[in-house]
Amino acid sequence: MKFASIIVDVPAMQTDRAFDYKIPDEWQELITPGMRVIVPFGPRKVQGFVIETKNHSDFNRLKSITELLDLTPCLTPELLQVGHWLTEKTLCFKISAFQVMLPAAMKAKYEKVIRLARDQELVSLPEMLLPYFQKTDQVNLKDIEKTISLAFIQKQIKLGHLELIYKVKQKTNKKMVKVIKLNVPVSQLEQLINELPSNAKKQMDILNYFKLNSKSQIQLQELLVEAKTSDTSVKSLISKGVLIEESKEIYRDPYQDRNFKQTSSLQLNQEQQNAIAPILSSVKHSHHEVFLMYGVTGSGKTEVYLQSIEEVLKNGKEAIVLVPEISLTPQMVHRFKGRFGSQVAVLHSGLSIGEKYDEWRKIQRKEVKLVVGARSAIFAPFDNLGMIIIDEEHESSYKQEENPRYHARDVAIYRAQLHKCPVVLGSATPTLETFARSQKGVYKLLTLKERVNRRSMPGVDIIDMREELRNGNRTMFSTSLIEKLQDRLSKGEQSVLFLNKRGYSSFVMCRDCGFVIQCQHCDISLTYHRHGQKLKCHYCGHEEHMPKVCPECQSEHIRFFGTGTQKVEEELVKVLPESRIIRMDVDTTGKKGAHEKLLTKFGNKEADILLGTQMIAKGLDFPDVTLVGVLAADTMLNLPDFRASEKTFQLLTQVSGRAGRHELPGEVIIQTYAPEHYSIQLASQYEYDLFYEQEMLLRKNHAYPPYYYIALVTVSHPEITKVVSVTEKVSQFLRRNVSNETKILGPVASPIPRIKDRYRYQCMVKYKREKNLNETLRKIIEHFQQDITSNDLLITVDLNPSTMM
DNA sequence: AGCACGCCGACT
DNA sequence: GTCGGCGTGCTC
């Protein structure tokens, strides 16, 4: 094993292959596939992943591995395999596939440093460089670049005065603390204390501390405080050999200050028992199978998850539970921590880089058996997986919207096949793809129709807002909604108001000429922000002031339209001045933990109305909420997306589930301008099955998933002519290389035709069977390689896109 | 991605 | 004749 094949951290087509390196003698036995290393690559050093070790290499000018970063491989053989599979399935670079499986902390950072050349006297350096090298012999290039031109530095390097070195830095790493250990038996302490010189008071204090507390080890920091001493005294005891100092890895535990109430299994009802039986059997027999647990909100899916996991753990295996953007549902974390305590690791986007790394380390070191996390937790480095659960299977956050564009559900099924274990997908409103598979018998359908508390779903009223307008109500609240809000207020019950903001931001329009203010760099309207009277672009961040007159016709009747949560809040205060309102949106939940704080406040009944966007739709469970209002149910229907109806249906069902979850009966008000739309009608009647049938018909007629697969190729470039011509060539090439059954649509402009000064065109492939599609798409990217590397062209391929944007 | 190499035009 | 523009090709 003298050689290693390594994937280097250079995400480019030309370097997307293994490079061979010599393994230095001292690491011959050590290096195994899946480890990270640092290797020389061209003039610099980069991080890389060992994917293979071997006795022979065809290349004869091999360099050696410079540094070893792991002692245990951070990618198991199985994860290496998953990485290769990801590369194939999403057409991404190998290095990107490996990196996405690891916490961000393990990705390298690169730095260029200027150093005084060897044998170089400081005095012979040009004067302007002197201040930099007074104290140190190394300066970061970034710092020096600000004041001294790059050309000058380059010259100095050529002259041999300076040297350029490439540094590979690790991001956050293991958090270490110093631990002080007693190096002698406690029984000897008495004698040692007496032997100390009489002026060594502090040392006596330290030893007395150990004697009295009968501890054999303590963190240095703690010891200093407890024994009221300084580290010099500790040091002298160390030099006497009485104490020893060690470094120990500690974990940043984001949940350390919380107490989780221990819970135990609940009695399952008949439906739940029927649902869990096949899952348990699959676990026991190590049999791979995909289950769709289709259960209405409140049917007790989570309890089924919990008891299935118990079985997995009992079998000595591990489990992964995916939940959508977990920080949104602290209640979920509580349920898992409550049942499984310290056996659980939690991975979600609310954690810092360091905290995520620590949770990951717990998994790697086999200190936990279960991980609850968002999308990327699907790559948890378990090697004896017994089950994977994906809760709220229909959630769009399971699809990564940047490279590698993977769907956690696909990864889950692939890993579960390798581990011969079940996958459980849970939802009250499964995606059509998943439900269709369960109808075909590809997935096994488990149904929970009954709610655990036997309560019926809250009644839903659809309010036609056009009618309201005709009756002279110009506000955004229907008469009925206001009445009901008032009623809850007087009864001391709580309400949730939901504003579906997607595709409905507060844009600015001239009432006289109809001109809408758009971003200069992107083809979308700017959003009005009350704070500072500014207009902001949500795509590129461009900001400008709100104009006094219309830039087109100079009219003064220029106003913002649409509804933001801020505006709703203002209006609400006008109508219900005595109500206490909590507003939740990006502005109020920006800071870490702000989200949970607001929810806790609401839970403590410090407010009557919770007003918010998407984020409040999920997992909220407050006993005193008896009214849910949806302010504009149809805004999403108008998005240019074939899943618009499906998403609307899912959202409305989801939101309705927030009302009357406990003793008090709930009520839902849906305000809309399209009351007759089937997704709104059927959601209000909780008719998933009918919705499924109706929507499937449409999908069939228009050749959309689940009847067809979709691949979306998006081309972008600063010049529109370039974009059009490339997209044209792409579609032609595709047409020539696919079967007759496959449909190629486009080129057409993307739904957002320009972002950050780049024009965007796309081409859609609809196919049923196309064995060589991935290969064809790869060829396209390869063909335009020159334009991509040197002409700022971008071609992105999304296989099974979840949005058309 | 970086970087060197190499081939053309504009200049001391 | 030389400096520097960026197209081309390589990195074990």
> Which pLDDT tens digit goes with each residue over A516-575?
888 888 777 788 877 777 888 777 778 888 888 888 888 888 887 766 777 788 888 888
Contact A622, A493 (CB under 8 A): no
* Closest listed residue to residue A748, CA positions, set A759, A758, A733: A759
The tens digit of pLDDT for each residue in A116-131 reads 776 667 677 777 777 7
> Which token pair is A535?
């207009």
The tens digit of pLDDT for each residue in A180-236 reads 887 878 777 778 778 778 788 788 777 777 777 777 778 877 777 777 777 788 788
Contact A423, A291 (CB under 8 A): yes
C-alpha A37/C-alpha A58 separation (Å) is: 21
pLDDT at A351 (0 to 100): 85
Nucleotide nearest to A43 (CA to C1'): B3
Contact A547, A517 (CB under 8 A): yes
Is A92 assigned a ligand-binding role in the annotation? no
Q: Strand B closer than 7 Å to the CB of A112?
A: yes
Query: How far, in whole angstroms, is CA A550 from its chain's centroid?
Result: 41
Q: Which nucleotides of B are covered by protein (CB under 7 A)?
A: 1-4
Q: Strand C closer than 7 Å to the CB of A42?
A: yes
What amino acid is encoded at A509 in this protein?
M
Is A74 assigned a ligand-binding role in the annotation? no
What amino acid is encoded at A630 in this protein?
V
Flag whether pLDDT at A148 surpasses 70. yes
Q: How far is the CA of A786 from the C1' of C8 (A)?
A: 10
Q: How far is the CA of A10 from the C1' of C8 (A)?
A: 19
Query: Which residues on neighbouring strands pair with residue A758, listed in sequence order?
Result: A755
Flag whether pLDDT at A24 surpasses 70. yes
C-alpha A761/C-alpha A186 separation (Å) is: 76
Percent of chain A with pLDDT over 90: 47
CA atoms lying within 13 Å on the CB side of residue A311: 21
Q: Strand B closer than 7 Å to the CB of A690?
A: no
Q: Strand C closer than 7 Å to the CB of A20?
A: yes
pTM of the model: 0.87
Q: Which ranges constitute the DSSP H helices of A240-348?
A: 270-284, 301-314, 330-340
Find the mean pLDDT for residues A361-379: 95
Is A763 assigned a ligand-binding role in the annotation? no
pLDDT at A503 (0 to 100): 42
